Amino acid sequence: MQTDSPIVVGVDGSAQSLDAVRWAADAAVHHRVPLLLVSSLLTAPGTFGEAVNLSAGVFSGVEYAGTQRLATAAELARRSVPGNHLTLRTSLRHGSAVPALLDAAKSARMLVVGSRGLGEFTGGLVGSVSAAVASHAPCPVALIRGMPETDAPPLDGPVVFTSLLLGSTSRALLHALTCPLLIVRR
């Protein structure tokens, strides 16, 4: 991991992914590293649209929605850390969320996702994308369950740390040492 490796955030537009954006923006400023917002689109021209005779306009609308989702998240990230310098980039990728996030995580300092996204059943502890990236990411992963409203006092509770992969344990632990720590082992 290079010192300028970004914190990567998965953005699907859900409330929890936007909480993950706020949390990651604060972490990026704290660690003085760039923030990379990543979103993915399942559809792309040439994938299955021609088989069902979909026009190219369908894909441009989906792409526009993805671009807007990232623009909204970028604006939220900037508003979350007022008065601080935040280097921010966005990446709109084609394909499913898990491979897109794992690819972005290859050069990441940390991967941050909401614990449940748009496609998850209400009340679940961890969504399928969250579980998959937590199990397979080559870097530490932060699963954000929720954040207080922006005018609420800052969070000061413990960080829950679980080691799924030995290779990422030392990086995750180094990050966690700056916070109160509760270690959980499976």
- pTM (two decimals): 0.73
Domain count, the chain: 1
Chain segment 50-83, per-residue pLDDT in tens: 445 555 555 567 788 889 999 999 999 999 999 8
pLDDT at 124: 46
Greater pLDDT, 170 or 12: 12
Contact call for residues 144 and 112 (beta carbons, < 8 A): yes
Which three-class secondary structure state does DSSP give residue 54?
A: coil
Q: How far is CA 165 from the centre of its chain?
A: 19
Residue 32 lies inside a defined structural domain of this protein: yes
Is residue 25 a part of any domain in this protein?
Answer: yes
Q: Assess if residue 22 is contained within a domain.
A: yes
Going by pLDDT thresholds of 50, 70 and 90, the confidence category of residue 150 is low
Write the burial class of residue 122 (CB in 10 Å: 0-12 exposed, 13-18 middle, 19+ buried): exposed
What residues contact residue 176 under an 8 Å CB cut-off, 6+ apart?
159, 161
Q: Where are the beta strands (DSSP E) in 29-69?
A: 35-41
pLDDT for position 183: 37
Q: Is the pLDDT of residue 181 over 50?
A: no
pLDDT tens per residue across span 14-32: 888 999 999 999 999 999 9
For residue 20, the SS3 value is helix
In a domain, 147, yes or no: yes
Parent domain of 118: 7-151
**44: in domain:** yes
Q: Is the CB of residue 167 less than 8 Å from the CB of residue 106? A: no
pLDDT digits (tens, 9 = 90+) for 89-142: 999 998 889 999 999 999 999 999 987 655 544 444 456 788 888 888 899 888
In a domain, 159, yes or no: no
157 in a domain, yes or no? no
Residue 179 has pLDDT above 50, yes or no: no
- Return the CATH number at 126: 3.40.50.12370
Look at residue 157 and tell me whether its pLDDT is greater than 70: no
pLDDT of residue 117: 53
147 or 178: which leads in pLDDT: 147
Q: What is the pLDDT of residue 72?
A: 96
**CB contact at 8 A, 64 and 42:** no
> What integer pLDDT is reported at residue 149 of this predicted model?
60
Residue 176 lies in a domain: no
